[in-house]
Structure 1
Amino acid sequence: MKNTNNIFLSGLMALSLLLSSCTEGLDDIDENPRNISQEQLEVDFQNVGSLYKPIFENIYQYTPAWSYQLQQNLNADVFSGYMTNPRPFVAGANNTTYNLVSGWNNFIWSVPYSNVMNNARTIENETKDKFPELFAISQILKVTAMHRVSDVFGPIVYTKFGESATTSEYDSQEEVYDAFFTDLEEAVQILSNNIDSPRFTAFDLSYGGSYEKWIKYANSLRLRLAIRISKVNPSKAKSEGEKSLNHPVGVFQTNEDSFFVNGTLDHPIKTINNSWGDIRMNASMESILGGYEDPRIESYFNVSGVIEGEHKGIRNGLPLLPGYDDELAQKADYVDFSLLSDQVLTSSVQLMTASEVFFLKAEAALRGWTGAGTAQANYEQGISTSFQQYGLSGSSNYIANSTLTPKDYVDPVTPSNNITALSNITIAWDEGASNEEKLERIITQKWIAIFPEGQEAWSEYRRTGYPKIFPVVSNQSAGVVDTDIQIRRIPFVDSELQTNPDGVADAVIKLGGPDDAGTRLWWDVPGGNF
């Protein structure tokens, strides 16, 4: 027994030594070879690269389609005069009739904060000091998304985002625009200093990693924002606009410069339009495009089924009309009005085009900004560039037409919706016209060219009053919104009222008026534009 125990103990000791020597590298052996260390992630920037895609795809959210429907389609796309719904949702008491549905409008706020601001903050923390050009791109994308949010609500949470886990302080719209300009200036400088870096190529859904293209876009975006504040702060607008116009890289010059998000999914309006039948051509589009005999109407919309061979739009803000028992019965009579064309509902989502930039330059020239060129040359180039975008010829004849004007609207289903055209503005440039008339031409053609980007179109309508789009048929705002002046903003959302009441209270003070849909934003100055 004694000898056996000694042998057993000797064996245990030998086994122990063997196990000890074998386990010295087991941590390395047991680690999954597919796991990637933080150091390895940083080598090819995958630690932040995955954060860009949700930013690109949530400037507005195009999947699922119902999220986009609530984030933009049932507000800006309709308020802009581009589209309207054949179905009177909520028995006609909905956003389109100014009886705002707060549950819908929460998405305008929540989508960009969850998917853009959060990811941009992480990218900033990970890259600003080590890889500044990656940070610069995230700043440009952040401004792209958040100026849209500010142009809906006014004051927003921006410069102090993430400072507190429980409350957030709002910037006034003037403060947030100042921050936008600062962020774009910094981004342009960083990219100019790192022009040949390939670090962003693998994550770029727009420009294939070309920093020169990103600089052009940042300059073009800064020009857009400068024009936006030209009535409320003309000196600041001129200063910022001229930085873009006179920058060595400059702004968009061709359609190849335009800013699209190149995804793999169809535009969400395609589902809303084709599958659900929830959106159609707006009567204002029929009036203006039809009156001008504009060939772009074929690229934007299909002919209707209600009148053979014709494009037919629907008046905005239809109530549940007399004679209809429910929403679906009314929708059935309007469902054959013009659908949007698949040509504008592609997987490349349009956010800013070269044609828009030419119209921005035309207005800058009217306002006397250096580097803008002449208003007429830019106006005409804006039209021809838009024609080129859709592969259309004949822009010269269109530009020269001095007789065609928007046409009256006729509703073949409900004649009480008929309305006379609100403008007699023609297409051809008139150098002898007033600046106000020239601006109406510029904005009307810009409105046509930037379709289907309803957020920008609504913002420019509010800023300028152009083009003159038809008012809603039914205004159910209980006097909050003037039918002729139309809706000016969306009230602060329920989620903020519930979780950040002090922040919202301060934001209302900064708004300078009641938290309702009739209060004008800071840059929305009443009266003439000159």
Structure 2
Amino acid sequence: MKFNTIKKSAICVSLLAAVSCTSNFEDINTNPEGITEGQYEQDFNNIKGAFAPMFNNIIVLTPEWKYQVQQGLQGDIWSGYMATGTAFRGGTNNTTYDLVDGWNGFAWGAAYGDVMYNAYSVEQKAKGKYDQFYALALILKVEGMHRITDTYGPIVYSKFGTTDKTIEYDSQEEVYNLMFKELDFAVTDLTKRVDAGEASTFATTDLTAYKGDYKKWVKFANSLRLRLAMRIVKKNPTLAKAEAEKALAHKFGVMTSNDDIFKVVSPNFTNPIATISGAWGDIRMSADMESIMGGYEDPRLPVFFKTSAQFPGQFKGVRTGIEIAAKADHVDFSEIGPIVTSKEIVLMTTAEVYLLRAEGALRGWNMGGTAQSLYELGITNSFAQHGVSGVAAYIADNTKTAKDYVDPNFPVNNGAALNTVTIAWDAADSNEVKLQKIITQKWIAGFPEGQEAWSEYRRTGYPKLLPVLKNTSGGKISTALGVRRVNFVQSEKDGNAGGVATGLAKLGGPDTGGTRLWWDTTGPNF
């Protein structure tokens, strides 16, 4: 498949954007059925049509193979959430750190062909006229595109939509600063509409559980601001604190109940992981999940995973980056469980928000509670989200830790437990130990959304993950540190070489998977 580039001609080939391209790039989403413009604009239909492709491609929902190469064999693997027992490309692939350019361009293609393109469409038709739609599109754009800058580093952002021969990349710092400003606009506009008692014009278009509720969208935008603020804490702690406290200080605040969870509710698609794990047998529980959740005897295990077909009653994970002789060697280990069998695709949980606040409080920020109280609320909300009991005993457990990983079929894959923290909060612990507890619980609560977990692992180093045993990167990626980013995509190198050169200059290192992003520093967490 030929990937989309950022140029006008390539943007127009997006398969999922239900639009027709014309010689006038700004005249997009034209109606091919001969309906007059006036008729098409009734009930904002000329604007609303751009939203479904955005909702359905922040994470690609269909076809499943596209999700598999967009995220399944990237963030889901590198976060320590999942592993594969399939020897793709003869066992030399992303899981063994030989990054496959033919896979790694799909995240870029979906983001630009479906998210950025349609956000641009809404901007052209709604900005200054129907700003509620522009505000909502900005929130979706930030949600979709922060994942892309957190994957590649510098990206095309402020220059998107231009027809220049060379389309310049923004640095990751520039992208984050623009995203904060875009969230400012969205929150301000939608808050005014809530205060005025304005009825939502988005209810029938909204594919989330919010059903067009502007107040809930504002709470999500504030929560997204909090996530982005924490991401940059080691590079710009002053701005991080200001943006995080701004999110909490807003009159509607951040997500506080599980009714606030940001999830796409699609009537047509279940989570693609269900097919990839079930029908295809390509994805299994990871060794890291078995070590940490198994060691904690975590009550959420049966929701996240199925027990092993080979070892009844046991949860068995696969280690990433191992020698794989045959798919049959691990196919009967634990599949992904009922968490992926619904039509709800969760992109941000309330548990995450409480745990972000816990880290903020640990850093001395005004987060509306103590680090301990917010930490425990994060765990409590995760248990409630999944309908699991036993949270009080879990939170109080000060003895259980991660367990050693054992591969009963191939002992060469065994690994000693790397995480020694318990669950219970202990005021006497160092800030580093407290942070490890917070991030470990955030890692568990975020499953199965591996992109965010991978980003937080790179930022903090937690939870500690078992290193690969087979590194085929040729020295480009450290076994100890793992994959830090994805290479710039080949379609951009072919069609926007000058732009890629600007991105490489702002990356600050070679275009390999071992180069750290702007916010991913070698500095300490405190």
> Shared topology, TM-score over 0.5?
yes
Matched, 1:520 2:516: yes
Letter in 1 for 2:200: P
Farther-moved stretch of structure 1 (400-409 vs 122-131):
122-131
Matched, 1:128 2:124: no
Match of 1:253 among 252, 256, 260: 256
The residue correspondences of 1:173-188 to structure 2 (distance < 5 A) are 173-188=172-187
Match of 2:409 among 406, 413, 426: 413
Counterpart Cα distance in 2 of 1:297 and 1:42: 49
Letter in 2 for 1:361: R
User: Is the contact between residue 299 and residue 344 of structure 1 (CA under 8 Å) also seen in structure 2?
Assistant: no
Farther-moved stretch of structure 1 (440-449 vs 479-488):
479-488
Matched, 1:270 2:274: yes
Specify whether residues 237 and 412 from structure 1 end up closer, same or farther in structure 2 by C-alpha distance, changes over 3 A only.
Answer: same
**Which structure 1 segments of 5+ residues have no match?**
1-33, 325-329
Q: Identify the residue that residue 207 of structure 2 maps to in structure 1.
A: 205
Q: Identify the residue that residue 446 of structure 1 maps to in structure 2.
A: 442
User: SS of the counterpart of 1:194?
Assistant: helix
User: SS of the counterpart of 1:260?
Assistant: strand
Q: Identify the residue that residue 472 of structure 2 maps to in structure 1.
A: 476
User: Is the contact between residue 91 and residue 319 of structure 1 (CA under 8 Å) also seen in structure 2?
Assistant: no
Q: Identify the residue that residue 323 of structure 2 maps to in structure 1.
A: 319
User: Is the contact between residue 226 and residue 236 of structure 1 (CA under 8 Å) also seen in structure 2?
Assistant: yes
Measured after TM superposition, the shift of residue 198 of structure 1 is 1.8
The residue correspondences of 1:48-87 to structure 2 (distance < 5 A) are 48-87=47-86
User: SS of the counterpart of 1:45?
Assistant: helix
Letter in 1 for 2:416: T
The residue correspondences of 1:233-252 to structure 2 (distance < 5 A) are 233-252=236-255
Matched, 1:391 2:387: yes
Specify whether residues 309 and 456 from structure 1 end up closer, same or farther in structure 2 by C-alpha distance, changes over 3 A only.
Answer: same
Counterpart Cα distance in 1 of 2:388 and 2:338: 16
Farther-moved stretch of structure 1 (428-437 vs 40-49):
40-49
User: SS of the counterpart of 2:105?
Assistant: helix
Measured after TM superposition, the shift of residue 225 of structure 1 is 0.2
Counterpart Cα distance in 2 of 1:312 and 1:515: 36
User: SS of the counterpart of 1:462?
Assistant: helix
Counterpart Cα distance in 2 of 1:482 and 1:405: 27
Counterpart Cα distance in 1 of 2:75 and 2:495: 26
Counterpart Cα distance in 2 of 1:497 and 1:275: 36
Measured after TM superposition, the shift of residue 165 of structure 1 is 5.4
Q: Identify the residue that residue 303 of structure 2 maps to in structure 1.
A: 299
Counterpart Cα distance in 2 of 1:356 and 1:362: 10
Q: Identify the residue that residue 13 of structure 2 maps to in structure 1.
A: none
User: SS of the counterpart of 1:167?
Assistant: coil
Counterpart Cα distance in 2 of 1:77 and 1:345: 17
Measured after TM superposition, the shift of residue 335 of structure 1 is 0.5
Counterpart Cα distance in 1 of 2:201 and 2:375: 37
Counterpart Cα distance in 2 of 1:473 and 1:203: 47
Counterpart Cα distance in 1 of 2:164 and 2:453: 35
Whose helix fraction is larger, Structure 1's or Structure 2's?
1
Letter in 2 for 1:291: G
| TM-score normalised by length of structure 1 | 0.91
Deviations 1:453-479 (A, max 9, x none): 000000000000000111112111111
Matched, 1:280 2:284: yes
CA RMSD of aligned residues (A): 1.0
User: Is the contact between residue 274 and residue 340 of structure 2 (CA under 8 Å) also seen in structure 1?
Assistant: no
The residue correspondences of 1:103-182 to structure 2 (distance < 5 A) are 103-164=102-163, 166-182=165-181
User: Is the contact between residue 97 and residue 319 of structure 1 (CA under 8 Å) also seen in structure 2?
Assistant: no
User: SS of the counterpart of 2:41?
Assistant: helix
Q: Identify the residue that residue 343 of structure 1 maps to in structure 2.
A: 339
User: Is the contact between residue 162 and residue 168 of structure 1 (CA under 8 Å) also seen in structure 2?
Assistant: no
User: SS of the counterpart of 2:227?
Assistant: helix
Q: Identify the residue that residue 5 of structure 2 maps to in structure 1.
A: none
Letter in 1 for 2:271: H
Matched, 1:378 2:374: yes
Measured after TM superposition, the shift of residue 53 of structure 1 is 0.4
User: Is the contact between residue 362 and residue 372 of structure 1 (CA under 8 Å) also seen in structure 2?
Assistant: no
Deviations 1:384-410 (A, max 9, x none): 100000111110000000000000000
Counterpart Cα distance in 2 of 1:121 and 1:423: 44
User: Is the contact between residue 426 and residue 441 of structure 1 (CA under 8 Å) also seen in structure 2?
Assistant: yes
Letter in 2 for 1:202: T
Deviations 1:458-507 (A, max 9, x none): 00000000001111121111111111111101110101111111111111
Counterpart Cα distance in 1 of 2:136 and 2:378: 27
Q: Identify the residue that residue 425 of structure 1 maps to in structure 2.
A: 421
User: SS of the counterpart of 2:470?
Assistant: coil
User: SS of the counterpart of 1:44?
Assistant: helix
Q: How many residues align?
A: 489
Deviations 1:84-140 (A, max 9, x none): 111111111000000111000010101110001111101001001111011000000
Deviations 1:311-350 (A, max 9, x none): 0000001234xxx4xxxxx111210000001233321101
Counterpart Cα distance in 2 of 1:401 and 1:476: 40
Measured after TM superposition, the shift of residue 372 of structure 1 is 3.6
Matched, 1:489 2:493: no
Measured after TM superposition, the shift of residue 274 of structure 1 is 0.8
Letter in 2 for 1:271: T
Letter in 2 for 1:343: I
Deviations 1:57-106 (A, max 9, x none): 00011100011001000010000000011111111100000011100001
Deviations 1:130-165 (A, max 9, x none): 110110000000000000000001101011101125
User: SS of the counterpart of 2:277?
Assistant: helix
Q: Identify the residue that residue 192 of structure 2 maps to in structure 1.
A: 193
Counterpart Cα distance in 2 of 1:438 and 1:258: 25
Letter in 2 for 1:306: Q
Farther-moved stretch of structure 1 (491-500 vs 364-373):
364-373
Specify whether residues 276 and 376 from structure 1 end up closer, same or farther in structure 2 by C-alpha distance, changes over 3 A only.
Answer: same
Letter in 2 for 1:302: K
Moved over 4 A (4+): none
Counterpart Cα distance in 2 of 1:154 and 1:345: 32
Measured after TM superposition, the shift of residue 166 of structure 1 is 3.9
